[in-house]
Amino acid sequence: MEVVFGYPGGAVLSIYDALYDDDRIKHVLTRHEQGAVHAADGYARATGKPGVVIATSGPGATNLVTGIANAYMDSVPLVAITGQVACNMIGKDSFQEADITGITQPITKYSYLVKDVNHLARIVREAFHIASTGRPGPVVIDLPKDVTAARAEFRYPPEIDLPGYQYMYNGITAKLNCAVEAIKRAKKPVIYAGGGVIASGAHEELLQFAERIQAPVTTTLMGKGAFPDTHPLSLGMLGMHGTCYANYAVSECDLLIGLGVRFDDRVTGRVDTFAPNAEIIHVDIDPAEVGKNVNIDIPLVGDVRSILVDLLREIEPQRHDQWLDTVYRWRRDYPLSYCTKKDTIKPQYVVEEIYKVTNGEAFITTEVGQHQMWAAQYYHCKYPRRFVSSGGLGTMGFGFPAALGVQIAYPDAVVFDIAGDGSIQMNIQELATAVQYKLPVNIAILNNHYLGMVRQWQEMFFNKRYSHSNMAGNPDFVKLAQAYGAEGLRVERPEDVRPALEEAINSPKPFVLDFVVDEEENVYPMVPPGGSLNKMLGGSK
């Protein structure tokens, strides 16, 4: 543990007192516990190491719940250390008491309530092991106030002994052989890669595998960066706001190879029409995910990287020229596109310019909404762990504190939080954190004065009845940034977008860019809720 994010309070003062003299651990004081847990999450996604967050008992601990659930849904390794009232006061509705282990049980891999300081070293060792192995996820360590004040001889166990905690690393040989045969007979294969590829560190093996079997690759939002978006075999993202050609390819393929994916509803659309002609191979380290949402023909339970290594050992190069010709024709005929206006900034254009000015080398975090989908569509990631976004839970307010965690991990990197004017206000107080720690995070607000995705759905499915989605009371984001000691700039013309981005990147301070964009621009393509992937609104001829 090198970095911890947190917010002190009465029940954790003994912990903070110990941190006062410890120069081995960098503590980052956020301005809200939710900001702390999202920052720890961003740090974990960018580095692959467990993020660590500390909060006090009661409201401090419950303020972590959204961030813990967010990490759980996206399989992010996280250790949350929470304060608790003294052991003899538990269960008595004591001041600032909350049953955080009970509250978080459904959204953690494990929750500890430590009642004996002699067990603490072992529990900490176990918590980090559980968080970072198998399918990664959050672990809670709840520490009563008297336990943190007690003393014990420090004995950090060199080995872990958890008989009930098991996970399969390599797939069953018989199933591997079935997968090999299915790949050999396929004429129209598609690889569908998710966050499990990144968690397993399997991006190089995925590249080799795709080129070996000559299969196009589509990724989930969580899998963005697992395969280079700039590679000829890349189809970009699939699903509700995926590319037309990715969705068409999945709908027409005869073999779908799912690697570290959940087959969630935003990807599959109507399940009975998802990949209707395909034999499906599913590789995942969590057996609970295999067959949960779609019927699987060949399940391979195990670590993605390990299984890809085994498959590469068995498979000779394949050729699918005719299939690739079809896929490339779809890519030519149905590209991502948008209509430009001379005096109006289009949000897609801002994302494209961020990509160009950073040469695709930046770390990108996002909030949740239209801007998130435009970022996924138009920022072409070359590397894993460079695109950090809330997928499963869809947490507004995630992106900015997550960007702080990324910047802490990589102080010299260019970091952009692509935000909406709604989402950014969820945790905008963390501007104070960015200024205090001199974190030059760039915030690109695509400001359409609406809760954009809510407005889009109201337009499409509720007869344009824009009920409480207008953000007419937005603050002046430039003045707000300056009030915190950051820099800010409002941009209203397309020709000013690039210079503003360059100014922000070259500034040593946190920088808020308020891009005033087309208010009623929609995200296309779009698969309507419950619809089929090959029947998209917009984006096709």
515 counts as catalytic: no
Instruction: List phi, psi (to 5°) of 54.
Output: -125, 135
CATH number of the domain where residue 115 is located: 3.40.50.970
Question: Are residues 386 and 457 both part of a single domain?
Answer: yes
Residues with Cβ within 8 Å of 248's Cβ and at least 6 positions away in sequence, in order, are 327, 330, 334, 533, 534
Question: Are residues 143 and 220 both part of a single domain?
Answer: no
Say which of 240, 453, 526, 536 is annotated catalytic: 453
Question: Are residues 181 and 59 both part of a single domain?
Answer: no
Which pair of tokens denotes residue 443?
């915030």
- Starting at the edge strand found earlier in the chain, the sheet holding 51-55 runs 26-29, 3-7, 51-55, 78-84, 138-144, 110-113
Distance CA 170, CA 186 (A): 23
Within 10 A of 286 (CB to CB), how many other CB atoms are there?
17
Question: Are residues 242 and 145 both part of a single domain?
Answer: no
Say which of 33, 352, 367, 430 is annotated catalytic: 33
Say which of 109, 145, 188, 224 is annotated catalytic: 145
- What integer pLDDT is reported at residue 107 of this predicted model? 98
Whether the CB-CB separation of 431 and 424 falls below 8 Å is answered with no
CATH number of the domain where residue 194 is located: 3.40.50.1220
- What integer pLDDT is reported at residue 539 of this predicted model? 61
184 counts as catalytic: no
Distance CA 510, CA 504 (A): 8
318 counts as catalytic: no
Question: Are residues 67 and 181 both part of a single domain?
Answer: no
Strand partners, 189: 255
> SS3 letters for 257-302?
EEECCCCCHHHHCCHHHCCCCCEEEEEECCHHHCCCCCCCCEEEEC
pLDDT digit of tens for each residue in the chain (541 aa)? 799 999 999 999 999 999 999 989 999 999 999 999 999 999 999 999 999 999 999 999 999 999 999 999 999 999 999 999 999 999 999 999 999 999 999 999 999 999 999 999 999 999 999 999 999 999 999 999 999 999 999 888 988 989 888 887 776 777 999 999 999 999 999 999 999 999 999 999 999 999 999 999 999 999 999 999 999 999 999 999 999 999 999 999 999 999 999 999 999 999 999 999 999 999 999 999 999 999 999 999 999 999 999 999 999 999 999 999 999 999 999 999 999 999 999 999 999 999 999 999 999 999 999 999 999 999 999 999 999 999 999 999 999 999 999 999 999 999 999 999 999 999 999 999 999 999 999 999 999 999 999 999 999 999 999 999 999 999 999 999 999 999 999 999 999 999 999 999 999 999 999 999 999 999 999 999 989 999 999 865 4
Residue 441 lies in a domain: yes
Instruction: List phi, psi (to 5°) of 328.
Output: -65, -30
Range of the domain at 474: 347-516
pTM: 0.96
Residue 267 lies in a domain: yes
Whether the CB-CB separation of 49 and 128 falls below 8 Å is answered with no
Question: Are residues 62 and 207 both part of a single domain?
Answer: no
482 counts as catalytic: no
Question: Are residues 138 and 70 both part of a single domain?
Answer: yes
222 counts as catalytic: no
Question: Are residues 256 and 403 both part of a single domain?
Answer: no
Residue 130 lies in a domain: yes
What burial class does residue 180 get, using C-beta atoms within 10 Å of its C-beta: 0-12 exposed, 13-18 middle, 19+ buried? Answer: middle
Distance CA 174, CA 187 (A): 22
Which SS3 state, helix, strand or coil, does residue 254 take? coil
Say which of 26, 89, 96, 318 is annotated catalytic: 96
Distance CA 90, CA 539 (A): 57
Q: How many domains does the chain have?
A: 3
What burial class does residue 337 get, using C-beta atoms within 10 Å of its C-beta: 0-12 exposed, 13-18 middle, 19+ buried? Answer: exposed
Question: Are residues 130 and 40 both part of a single domain?
Answer: yes
Residue 160 lies in a domain: no
Instruction: List phi, psi (to 5°) of 186.
Output: -70, 140
Say which of 2, 95, 314, 464 is annotated catalytic: 95
Question: Are residues 298 and 353 both part of a single domain?
Answer: no
- Alpha helix ranges (H) inside 75-172: 100-104, 120-132, 145-149
Question: Are residues 145 and 11 both part of a single domain?
Answer: yes
The pairing of beta strand 51-55 with beta strand 415-420:
unpaired
Question: Are residues 65 and 22 both part of a single domain?
Answer: yes
